[in-house]
Amino acid sequence: MDMPPLQTVVLRHDTPDGSFHFDWLFAVDEPPAMKLVCLRLESTPQGAEVGRRIRADRLADHRTLYLNYEGPISGNRGSVTRVATGRYEGDVEVGRVRVTWEQHDVQEWLIRDGDVERVR
């Protein structure tokens, strides 16, 4: 049976040293067993052109509160601001997802070790 689309969010993470990156979070299960797979990106995927590749590093799974959280991060690790939300279908672990952003833009992405690529 197909899973219903799950939530995804992109957060801009501003760090104390003045740099920033984007955390692309994917819910991989429905509540209450939900976890968030996290990819650290150097630019936001939303609005990327077909064929665009973005460096991506897999981080530790994040807590589900980050689907809706904006603000300071504990331990003086900076702050996060939501820049995009949507729903996705596919399997983050396998490496191909179809994302429908809140603004109705539909994209398909390949997720590989070290980068993500918009393929459609």
Per-residue pLDDT tens digits for 1-47: 467 899 999 999 999 999 999 999 999 876 665 789 999 999 999 98
Burial of residue 93, with CB atoms counted within 10 A of its CB: 0-12 exposed, 13-18 middle, 19 or more buried: exposed
pLDDT value for 100: 96
pLDDT value for 33: 58
- CA diameter of the chain: 46
pLDDT value for 82: 97
List, for residues 76-109, the tens digit of each pLDDT value.
999 999 999 999 999 898 899 999 999 879 999 9
d(CA 43, CA 54): 7
Nearest residue to 35 via CA among 61, 4, 10, 11: 61
List, for residues 51-60, the tens digit of each pLDDT value.
999 999 999 9
Residue 75 reports pLDDT greater than 60: yes
pLDDT value for 32: 62
The per-residue pLDDT of the chain, averaged, comes to 92
Token digits for 91? 């399997």
Domain boundaries, given as residue ranges, for the chain:
6-118
